[in-house]
């Protein structure tokens, strides 16, 4: 039995969980964030564009559901 009773999570901890979930989803679905060889962007603008494209598509799919 723990000595102290469990306490509620702080707002900061909840925000961290949300951000970590977002980062994990990005890493799993955007290959450019995982591999350096096959899906590497030579130009930073292309890299950012691929991430923005995914975020727009992901947001539209979540709104539609």
Q: How much is the average pLDDT of 30-45? A: 79
In the chain, the percentage of residues whose pLDDT exceeds 90 is: 11
**Cα distance between residue 2 and residue 22, in whole Å:** 33
Three-state secondary-structure class, residue 48: helix
pLDDT value at residue 45: 92
Mean pLDDT of 9-22: 74
Alpha carbons within 13 A on the beta-carbon side of 45: 0
- pLDDT band for 18, please (50, 70, 90 cuts): confident
Please choose, from the candidates 51, 47, 49, the residue with its C-alpha nearest in 3D space to the C-alpha of residue 30: 51
Q: Say whether pTM exceeds 0.95.
A: no
Contact 44, 36 (CB under 8 A): no
């Amino acid at each position: 039995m723990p000595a102290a009773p469990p306490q509620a999570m702080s707002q900061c901890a909840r925000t961290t969980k949300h951000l970590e979930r977002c980062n994990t989803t990005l890493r799993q679905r955007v290959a450019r964030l995982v591999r350096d060889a096959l899906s590497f962007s030579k130009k930073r603008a292309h890299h950012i564009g691929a991430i923005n494209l995914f975020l727009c598509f992901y947001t539209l799919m979540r709104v539609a559901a």
